[in-house]
Structure 1
Amino acid sequence: MKTKFVSLLSILLGLIIVIFPIMGVIGVGSLIGLSALLMSIYLLIVGIAIIDYNNSGAILDLVLGLILLFLSICLIFNPSLLGFLTEISMYFAGIMLIIVAVVSLINNRNSRYGFYSGIIGIILGLLYIIIGTYLSNPIILGTLIGIWLVISGILKLMDR
């Protein structure tokens, strides 16, 4: 039951991230902050869900979730912070996506399909950094995170 809930939550949050940039124009910091907030919610829930059988993975998910939660709140409620963190935040978000993907690899190394969500996350994290370097388009960057969440949720559902 927990796995199905986490999978559906991942798909829902991913779709929200993919669709949200189309719904209106908001500040770049808020968009990146919202993406990080949704990813942090996902990580915190996954960390709580897997704590019964994977303590090290749960701790990694919870710590990453708390770091992303702090960063997202800072970006959402302090827009002037974005001016200071613009370049760093793009790389940081890509690096966090890669780290989250590595944690997913560790957590799902015995899983049939879950392992691939880690591989896809690493690829999307690298794309995030490359695209962020040359385009700096928050809609594309937020969409990459959403795509990873949707793919992870689908792979988790297939792995049941």
Structure 2
Amino acid sequence: MEKNTTALILIILGLIVLFFPLLGVIPLSLITGFVVLFLGIGLIFAGIDDMSESVGMGILAIILGIIALILGFGFILVPGLFSWLVGFVIWIVGILLIIAGIVGIISKTGGSRWNGVVALIIGLLYIIIGNLVSDPRILGALIGLWLLVTGIIMLFIKE
């Protein structure tokens, strides 16, 4: 994809996330719960079917299915479980942004270096704000800001 097209897509996505940071977050616990629940049911049936070929793989699939069932019901019935998982995801997203930032800074091109600096700063802010405030609107706005700034840098810094 052409660099300018990618930059414009990032800018548009950044603006959408900035204006609607909770887009999809509100029903996420229920939807995730049902998806994980169905995954668990599928794994249990696949495990039962696999028992004829490999008992070990069948038992593993059944155990994973039971774990998925418990998590699925947990996400649906206990919102705190989902909140804990989201808290864990805050660390994952922040670390991924920090790693992307370090890789961008180390790279040889000028635009990637500035994108790396932005990603590194946003990643650190994401972890700090995520642990202190835990407001999904603010976290969504940070991701939107990262997308927007990265798109603008890609658009205006020529390599």
Larger mean CA deviation between 136-145 and 83-92 belongs to 83-92
Matched, 1:141 2:139: yes
Q: Percent identity?
A: 38
| Post-superposition offset of 1:99 | 2.0
* CA separation of 1:28 and 1:92: change in aligned 2, threshold 3 A: farther
Partner AA of 2:15 in structure 1: L
- Partner of residue 40, structure 2: none
In 1, Cα distance between the equivalents of 2:28 and 2:100? Answer: 21
| Post-superposition offset of 1:144 | 0.7
| Post-superposition offset of 1:25 | 8.4
| Post-superposition offset of 1:125 | 0.5
Matched, 1:103 2:107: no
Gaps of 5+ in 1: 34-77
- The answer to whether the Cα contact below 8 Å between 1:114 and 1:159 also exists between their aligned partners in 2 is no
Gaps of 5+ in 2: 33-71, 76-80
TM-score if structure 2 supplies the norm length? Answer: 0.59
In 2, Cα distance between the equivalents of 1:159 and 1:105? Answer: 15
Which of these residues, 120, 129, 142, is aligned with residue 122 of structure 1?
Answer: 120
| Post-superposition offset of 1:14 | 1.0
Partner AA of 1:27 in structure 2: I
Which of these residues, 146, 150, 153, is aligned with residue 151 of structure 2?
Answer: 153
| Post-superposition offset of 1:84 | 4.6
| Post-superposition offset of 1:103 | 3.4
- Partner of residue 2, structure 1: 2
- Partner of residue 88, structure 1: 88
Mapping for residues 9-88 of structure 1, pairs under 5 Å? 9-21=9-21, 26-27=25-26, 29=28, 80=75, 82-88=82-88
Larger radius of gyration: 2
TM-score if structure 1 supplies the norm length? Answer: 0.59
RMSD of aligned Cα (Å): 2.7
Counterpart of 2:108 in 1: which secondary structure? coil
Partner AA of 1:15 in structure 2: L
- Partner of residue 110, structure 2: 112
- Partner of residue 41, structure 1: none
| Post-superposition offset of 1:121 | 0.8
Structure 1's consecutive aligned runs of 4 or more residues displaced over 4 angstroms after TM superposition are: none
* CA separation of 1:139 and 1:28: change in aligned 2, threshold 3 A: farther
Partner AA of 2:150 in structure 1: S
Counterpart of 1:153 in 2: which secondary structure? helix
| Post-superposition offset of 1:11 | 0.8
